[in-house]
Amino acid sequence: MDMELPILYEDNDLLAVHKPEGLAAIPERDPSRPSARRLLEAARGERLWVVHRLDKEASGVLLFARNAEAHRYMNTLFEQRQVRKVYRALVHGRLEPGQGQIRAPIRMYGSGRMGVDPERGKPSETRYRVLEYLDEAYSLIEALPLTGRRHQIRVHCYHIGHPIVGDPRYGDRSVQQRYPRLMLHALSIRFRHPNGQELEIVAPVPESFQQVLDALRTELAASTTDHSATTSSPSST
C-alpha cells in the first residue's frame, strides 16, 4: 500500500504523524494489511516504538518514539498521567450537561469488545465539554481521556446513551452504517519533551470529518426550514 503519512513533528527522539481513519496504528494479525508503523518503518528504514493507542477507525495524532530511551520516557509519562490528549467527537443526541466527567470502569468482553463493568472493570475517566449542539440530533464535543483504556471514549459515550456517530461497534449498526466514518479525531497531544520543554502537537480536523459535519448541518437546516414553512403556512377556510 502506497501511502504517505503527513509528518506533524519530528526530532531525534520522537516522530508524530497524522493518521487517517481506516489505517491501523500497529500491525494487525494479518501481515498483508498495512499499518502506520509498518508504512513508516519501510519508508524511513528505521525502527519505531509505539507510544500510545489510536483506534483504526479514528484519525489524528499518532506518536512514535525513535529510540528505546525515548520510548521508556514516554511510557513513564503515560503511566503517571502526565500526557494530555484531546479528541474531537460527534455524538448522537443532545448531551447534557454541557460539560462533565464520565467515571465508569471498563473491561474487555468477548471478541475484543470493551464495556463498562462496575465490579470487574478498571477505573476509567473521561472529561468532556460540548462545543456545539446540532439541533437535538447531535452534539460536537471535546473529550479528554484521563485514563487510557482501549476504546475508552467510544465506550463511555455509548454508556451514557450518546454513542459516537458512525460507530457500529458501540451503537445501533443499522443506524451507524449510514455515516461514512467514525466521527472521532485525536486533535492534540501535550507533554513534557525529554529535553524538558513543553510540547503540543496538533492534527487539524481532516476534510473527511468536516464533510460529514457540514452535511449534517445542511441536512438539519433544511429540515428545520421545511418544518417552519409547514407550520407557518395559512390554513384554508
d(CA 145, CA 149): 9
Given a contact cutoff of 8 angstroms between Cβ atoms, the answer to whether 143 and 126 are in contact is yes
Q: Is 3.10.290.10 the CATH number for 7-221? A: no
For residue 60, what are the β-bridge partners?
19, 186
Q: What are the catalytic residues?
A: 55
**What pLDDT shows up at residue 161?**
97
Which residues does 123 contact at the CB level (< 8 Å), separation at least 6? Answer: 103, 105, 147
The predicted-structure confidence for 107-153, as pLDDT tens digits, reads as follows: 999 877 999 999 999 999 999 999 999 999 999 999 999 999 999 99
> Residues 93-116, buried b or exposed e (16+ Cβ, 10 A)?
eebeeeeeebebbbbbeeeeebbb
- 140 phi-psi bin (left φ>0, alpha ψ -120 to 50, beta other): beta
Q: How confident is the model at residue 236 (pLDDT cuts 50, 70, 90)?
A: very low
Q: What is the mean pLDDT of the chain?
A: 93
- Give mean pLDDT, residues 159-180: 94
Q: What pLDDT, on the 0 to 100 scale, is given for residue 237?
A: 37
The answer on pLDDT for 1 being more than 60 is no
Residue 109 CB contacts under 8 Å (≥ 6 apart), including other chains: 115
The set of residues, in sequence order, having a beta carbon less than 8 Å from that of 211 and lying 6+ positions away, is none
Q: State yes or no: pLDDT of 31 exceeds 80.
A: no
- pLDDT for the residue numbered 29: 79
The pTM for the full model equals 0.92
> Which grid cell sits at 64?
512514535
Q: Where are the domains of the chain?
A: 7-221
Cβ contact 115:150 at 8 Å: no
Arithmetic mean of pLDDT, 218-226: 82
Strand partners, 126: 102, 145
Please name the helix (run of DSSP H) or strand (run of DSSP E) that holds residue 7, with its range, or none. Answer: strand 7-10
Higher pLDDT, 174 or 106: 106
pLDDT of residue 112: 79
Percent of the chain with pLDDT strictly greater than 70: 94
pLDDT average, residue stretch 56-64: 98
The pLDDT, as a whole number, for residue 229 is 54
Q: How far is residue 228's CA from residue 31's CA, in Å, rounded to a whole number?
A: 55
Please report which confidence band the pLDDT of residue 234 belongs to, taking 50, 70 and 90 as the band edges.
low
Question: Rounded distance, CA 116 to CA 122, Å?
Answer: 9
